[in-house]
Every structure is written in structure tokens, then in C-alpha cells.
Structure 1
């Protein structure tokens, strides 16, 4: 089981993509709503090719090593979920525990989502091709939130201590900081997430 992913909604889609590209991430995919239809705008297309179309991007995926980040258009930055790479066996056990805890589970062909009572989802991913073998990976994350039972419940769900999740009390749920192995320096993305190399 490995923490590999985070997703948020943002009103700074292009700026967010540019920030992560400067850190060495590559764009895996871009999907926008256009006249009621989801349309791909994947590379080699660049923003200069479609910026004037005023597209509403549903999802943009950037990748580097064992890190996968997605974001889509929103009215303001909102932290949506984190993701773990899991085995089929781990997936089954985690979903069973979520059921016992009374948390809704949405099992899909491509990924599974667990809906927590904290206005926050957890993605469980079994497809290893969502990342590559480069040594870049997420070391840990600091998540702010109003409820201190958040981390305890996540540890119950995963049936282990979550050393990779640091919880800090705050007024609303937000991703505060992400530490990544293999990334140099420290900076703040356009959504106020601090990205720190380690």
C-alpha cells in the first residue's frame, strides 16, 4: 500500500499545470467539457492551442515517478481526495472495513472511492500503470481539518498507523503540505499547497 495521489478543484487550472510542469511533472491527460461533451486536449497540444476556447477542464492529470496529481476547474481551491496504490487483497480488506464503519464505497472498473464523513474521499487504485518506476514518490502529507478523529478513523480503515499522514487542526479540510522524495526545494502551488522536496 502506497500513498501516491491527490486531487483538488481549482480556479487556477492553467497555473497549477504550469507549476507542476516546472517541477518535472508531465501532463498525462486533459479532459474538458465542450458543448456538453467531454473532449480530450492531451499533449502534444499546449495551452496556446486552446486557451481562447474558454474550456471548462473536468480533469488534468500530471505525473512524475510514483506521484500522480489530478485537478479540475472549480470556483475556488477545494481539496477533494488522496489516493493509495493497493493490491487486490488490500482493496477487498479496506472496502470490508469501510462497510463496517458505515462509509459508502463506490467500486469501479478503473478505481474505487471511499466516501468518509469528513467531506473527503479516498481513492484506491490497483492499476500500477498510473505511476512509473522513477524514484520520485510522496513521503508524507499534512492535512488540516476541524475533526481530530479524522486520522484515527483513517488508521482504523487502513488497519495500521499512517505515518505518511500528518494531521493538523484547522477550520476547514485542506491539503497543507506534501513532502516528495526526489523533488528539490520547496514552494507553494497556486492552490496554497506547499510542495517540499526531501
Structure 2
């Protein structure tokens, strides 16, 4: 299940506000201040630390089974998408990645697969990273600079990934995300992701 994406962005506070204003809750904020990583988690608000000039490693926002993360960057850079998969399926995916000569980075809590399309794929087995199954990421449309992603994803997962659409363009990013129960018909986040309500009447 596709449940997650991550951006680096100079618009960290604005990105948080966008998602909170559209029904997400902030789970954590981890950032570097005076050379050390510290937590600035809720109930802290931006008024409590804005003047400290924190370089955020990660801010995590959740809504149902949708998990969005972002961190401080000098420019907008899309980093990765994440899938929540069963443990047995995770190992099969990793073996398929290795057959394609894609680098597999096995961490303690998650696995990252580096693709030749200038983004990574995260594999998660921990269901505690989502709040519920009520709100879901129905589809995303990814822009890449070269052909082949759809075919490679089919091989990687050994089945079609209906949540993922691909287009060719001049950059690597997420152009569009369709979510059910999104509170408005459509909106665009500060990083250029257009979000649509899949069930909007």
C-alpha cells in the first residue's frame, strides 16, 4: 500500500500549515539547533521555536493511513515514496531490486531502495506509522525525466501498482496525489503537489 512521500523544502513551516489546515496532525518534529538534534514535537507550536532557526531533519504529518514527511532544504527536492508491505513481501521486493542492480539499504526500522530515476522507495512493515485505514492515498502521479518507471515498478513488486501513475517531464517529483476524505475538491501544497479529493461530489 502506497502511504507516504517525503520532500526537502525551504517552505517547512508553510508545508506544515498546509497539511494541518487540511486535516492532518503533526506527530513529530526533529531538527538541529546549535549543532544538536532535538525534538520540537507538539504541543510545541512554531511560535515557541521559530526564532531559533531550527534546521528540520523531519516533520511528520498523518491523516488516517496517509503519512507525509518533509524537512529543511535550500530548494524543493522530492526524495522518496513509501509503501507499507507485509514482511514476506518486503523480502521478495528487495530480491527483485537486487536482480535489477538497484541498491538496497537495509536499516533497522525500514528499507530504502535507490532507483535510477533519482528518487528512492521506502519499504515499511510497521503499521504503527499510520493512524487508521479510514483515509487513504488513492493514487499519485509521478513525473520522471526518463521512460521505464512503470515497467520497473511492475517487476519490482511482481504485480501492477495501481496507486502509481507516471509521466515524463523535466524534473522528478510528485505532480498529483488523490486522497479520499480530503476536505476540499483540490489544493496545491507549497512544494507543487496538487492534491485532489477522490470522492468529492
Indicate whether the TM-score tops 0.5: yes
- Structure 2 equivalent of residue 72 of structure 1: 71
Alpha carbons 2:33, 2:53 under 8 Å: kept: no
Q: How does 1:159-170 map to 2 (within 5 A)?
A: 159-170=158-169
**What SS does the corresponding residue of 2:58 show, helix, strand or coil?**
strand
Match of 1:89 in 2: 88
Q: Which runs of 4 or more aligned residues in structure 1 lie more than 4 Å from their structure 2 counterparts after TM superposition?
A: none
The residue aligned with 2:187 is 187
Displacement of 1:72 in angstroms is: 0.3
Q: Distance in 2 between matches of 1:151 and 1:44?
A: 41
Matches within 5 A, 1:45-194: 45-184=44-183, 185-194=185-194
* TM-score (norm. length: structure 2): 0.96
- Please name the residue that 2:197 is paired with: 197
Partner of 2:5: helix, strand, or coil? strand
TM-score, normalised with respect to structure 1: 0.97
Cα 1:194–1:74, aligned 2, differ >3 Å: closer, same or farther? same
Residues 118-158 of structure 1: CA distance to partner in whole angstroms, max 9, x if unpaired?
Answer: 11100000000000225111000000111120121111111
- Matches for 1:17-56 after TM superposition, within 5 Å: 17-56=16-55
Q: Answer whether contact 1:64 1:134 (CA < 8 A) is retained.
A: no
Could you give the per-residue CA deviations for residues 63-95 of structure 1, whole angstroms, max 9, x where no partner exists? Answer: 010000000001111111000001110111001
Specify every segment of 5 or more residues in structure 2 that has no aligned partner in the other structure, as ranges: none
Give RMSD over aligned pairs. Answer: 0.8
Q: Deviations over 1:4-36 (max 9, x none)?
A: 000010000000000000111000000111122
Name structure 1 gaps, 5 residues minimum: none
- In 2, the alpha carbon distance for the partners of 1:46 and 1:54 equals 14
Cα separation, 2, equivalents of 1:147 and 1:154? 14
> Aligned residue pairs: how many?
197
Alpha-carbon distance between aligned partners in 2 of 1:37 and 1:55, rounded to the nearest angstrom: 10
